[in-house]
Amino acid sequence: MNKIFGIGTDVVDVSRIKKLIDKNKKFINRIFSIKEIKYCNSRSNKFSSYSKRFAAKEAFAKALGVGISKGISFNEISINNNKDGAPFIELLGNTKTIVKKLIKKKKKFIFFYQIKKKKKKKKK
């Protein structure tokens, strides 16, 4: 039977990610892969797309139990979508090597993310 290696969760406020992107242009390249940047920028609500990927990365890092340390880089954890739209994780570069070592004896991960959107005020 497979054991669960780790469980990670995260909640992200879209407006927070928008502020980070607007304030610091280096943020996108530090956090997201080239593939993710192209995908998010092609979406009508790019900040929602960036937020979903950020939350998934945070949840994945928490499931690993290391956060962003030990050489793991967020821009080497790429959250992509298959042809049906289902998300999957692609590990790149040094992060791929480190994660392989971390989970060599383990088999399963569980991670969850949720996006928090601001509630629209009702018009009277």
Region 5-20 average pLDDT: 87
On whether the CB atoms of residues 108 and 5 are closer than 8 A, the answer is yes
47-103 pLDDT tens trace: 999 999 999 998 888 888 776 667 789 999 999 999 998 889 999 999 998 888 877
Task: Give the bridge partners for 7, in sequence order.
Answer: 110
Q: Tokens standing for 111? A: 């991670």
- Specify the pTM: 0.80
In the predicted model, is pLDDT for residue 107 greater than 90?
no
120 pLDDT band, cuts 50/70/90, is low
Highest mean pLDDT among 3-12, 24-33, 103-112: 24-33
The two tokens of residue 8 are: 């990670």
Helix axes 46-64, 14-23, angle to 10 degrees: 100
Give me the residue spans of the domains in the chain.
Answer: 4-116
In this structure, whether the domain defined by 4-116 belongs to CATH 3.40.50.300 is answered with no
